[in-house]
Amino acid sequence: MLASSLASSMAYDKYTTNFYTGNHDNVALKSDPFININNRYYYFGTDPQNWYVAYEKCRALSSELVTFDSLEEFEAIAKYLKARGDRNEYWTSGNDLGREGTYNWFSTGKQLSISKWAPNQPDNSAGRENCIHMGYIYTYSKDFELNDRPCESLFRYICEAPEPETISIVVWK
């Protein structure tokens, strides 16, 4: 709007702005304490917290507990953790707190669409497992998978920062 009003007396646009999702031009970006994995930004909280406090910790960093929009995103995180020999368990934003048996990502309200449940999970064990974490669920597990656990359980947590956007402004001088 600003650009068009400034340019109203001219035959061409004095300014042109463009918006892109992501870091369009790979601009050097200070993202600490978030780590860039596959062009998304994550923070790995090492202090074990229940799911609610974990969410608060992420919000305090202007982020949310991690949501896996795609299998590719899950695999990228799992690969990163494996590369550093990390076999800890981490909270995600997934839960069925709203409706038993319906698993949504709390940060987006969208239903879980990836198939990474550990064998025989989610089992809502003892009728009280409503929050989803990722980890090596069984002693025989060979990879990161998802499982439901009581939300009061204490786990590390992964925060996901909003996707950056690039605004470019082209100016005729």
Binding site for Ca ion (CB under 5 A): 96, 121, 123-125, 129-130, 147-148
Q: Which is nearer to Ca ion, 101 or 109 (CB)?
A: 101
Sign, CA torsion 91/96/101/104: negative
CB of 93 to Ca ion, least distance (A): 15
From CA 78, how far away is CA 72, in angstroms rounded?
Answer: 10
From CA 40, how far away is CA 36, in angstroms rounded?
Answer: 6
Q: Which is nearer to Ca ion, 63 or 104 (CB)?
A: 104
CB of 161 to Ca ion, least distance (A): 28
Residue whose C-alpha is closest to residue 59's, from 146, 141, 157, 132 = 157
Q: Which is nearer to Ca ion, 38 or 124 (CB)?
A: 124
CB of 147 to Ca ion, least distance (A): 5
Q: Which is nearer to Ca ion, 63 or 130 (CB)?
A: 130
CB of 39 to Ca ion, least distance (A): 32
From CA 126, how far away is CA 13, in angstroms rounded?
Answer: 65
